Homo-oligomer: A and B are copies of this chain.
């Protein structure tokens, strides 16, 4: 945003007023070295243009057009799956295994999710893997198992789609498509997933700025998505003390500045069981509409990412901390 000044403006007074409004500013000079305009920096809070226009000494206020009008339209609006509502006051719990391993296992897990007060079942049918030689999921079979387990337990299904060619199949089985962080800017997949005209959970890329993340959401809406839930799962940092760097400032920003619904995935963010519950609680405090966690009946037996899976007991404890009443 740019504030153009009257040549006779009292720049010192104006800068104080702007600081009082919470804005970070950079004065711009004309060729005579006189301040002629004030640039408002990106990390400033949102202030209505009309307030600024009315300040003494201000001629006009210029703004960059929002590049994501469709995302903006959802400001402060709840979003619905059949059994789940994401809103500015919701505490949604989405839980499930990293990989769906068998029909029985997913039934057992779904029942634990429901018992703990969760409303959606997550689980990997197709898994993105750094190595081409690693287990990559049971695919179509797993989708069926997950659908059945969710239906039996009154849950929604959230699952990742990794290929343009699989969008249709995954859309048939899921209530919400998940786009993984590695595919956040896979525009071909975003386009296809949007065309399914259903809710999509969009994980943030590990090096994506908030603006790039919102623009990826805009791609989904432009292609037809009925709603987009943003999911923070940790970004790339310079320190390997934790697996990823959970960015709760971004969560607060999406919630309080943009009015959007955000889910936080503390399992991938920190990769260790003992930090998941504190970070889940912190995520809700920062403004999340819900959390998504990995669970496993017996973490030691999980086929992938075992060290970050919560046990059923841990899940219940987390639900209590997040102040959900466990369903009897």
Contacts and interface: CB of A to CB of B under 8 A. Distances in A.
Interface residues of A, number: 111
A79 interface: no
Contact of A248 (B30, B165, B279): B279
Contact of A42 (B236, B241, B281): B241
Contact of A245 (B29, B61, B133, B247): B247
Copies in the complex: 4
A2 B28 contact: yes
Contacts of A183: 185-186
A65 B271 contact: no
Contacts of A211: 239, 241
A237 interface: yes
A12 B243 CA distance: 23
A43 B243 contact: yes
Nearest to A65: B29
A143 interface: no
Nearest to A279: B252
Interface stretch (A31-39, A107-115, A149-157): A31-39
Among A60, A206, A210, A255, max chain B CB count under 10 A is at: A206
A222 B189 contact: no
A271 B41 CA distance: 11
